[in-house]
Amino acid sequence: MDTTLQDPLVGHVLDGRYRVDARIAVGGMATVYRALDTRLDRVLALKVMHPALAADGSFVERFIREAKSVARLAHPNVVQVFDQGTDGSYVYLAMEYIAGCTLRDVLRDRGALQPRAALDILEPVLAALGAAHRAGFVHRDMKPENVLIGDDGRVKVADFGLVRAVDTVTNTTGAVLGTVSYLAPEQIEHGTADTRVDVYACGVVLYEMLTGAKPHSGDSPAQVLYQHLNADVPAPSAAVPGLPYALDELVATATARNPEVRPHDAVALLGLVLEARAGLTTEQLDAVPPGALATGHDNGEDRTSVIPRSLSMQRPLPVNDDYEDGNAGLDRTSRFERTSQFASGPAASSRRAARPRRGMLLVIAAVVLVLGLGAGVWYINSGQFTTVPPILTKTKTEAKDRLASAGLEVGQIKHAYSDTVKRGTVISTDPKVGARIRDHDSVTLTISDGPETVKVPDLKGFALFKARDVLKGDGLAAGMVTRQFSEDVPKDFVISTDPVAGTERHAGSAIALVVSKGSPVEVPDVTGASVDDAKAELQDSGLKVKISSEQVTSEFDKGEVAKQSPGGGREVAAGDTVTLTISKGPEMVQVPDVVGDTVDDAKQKLEAAGFKVSEDRGLLGLFGDHVKSQSVDGGQTAPKGSTITIEIR
For 77-133, the three-class secondary structure string (H helix, E strand, C coil) is CECCEEEEEEECCEEEEEEECCCEEEHHHHHHHHCCCCHHHHHHHHHHHHHHHHHHH
- Per-residue DSSP letters for 177-202? EE-GGG--HHHHHH-B--HHHHHHHH
C-alpha to C-alpha distance for 534 and 289, rounded to whole angstroms? 104
Paired residues of 423 in beta bridges:
none
> For the chain, how far is it from start to end, CA to CA, in angstroms?
116
Residues across the chain: 649
Single-letter amino acid, residue 459: L
How many helices (H) and strands (E) would you count in the chain?
A: 16, 33
C-alpha to C-alpha distance for 99 and 34, rounded to whole angstroms? 10
Positions of E strands within 5-41 = 13-14, 18-26, 30-37
For 296-321, the three-class secondary structure string (H helix, E strand, C coil) is CCCCHHHCCEEEECCCCECCCCCCCC
The backbone torsions φ and ψ at residue 172, rounded to the nearest 5 degrees and listed phi first, read -70, -20
Determine whether 87 is an active site residue: no
Nearest to 136 by CA among 168, 95, 170, 179: 168
Any alpha helices (H) in 218-265, and if so which ranges?
221-230, 236-239, 245-254
The backbone torsions φ and ψ at residue 346, rounded to the nearest 5 degrees and listed phi first, read -60, 165
Paired residues of 138 in beta bridges:
164
Marked catalytic residue, from 2, 37, 141, 151: 141
- Give the active site residues: 141
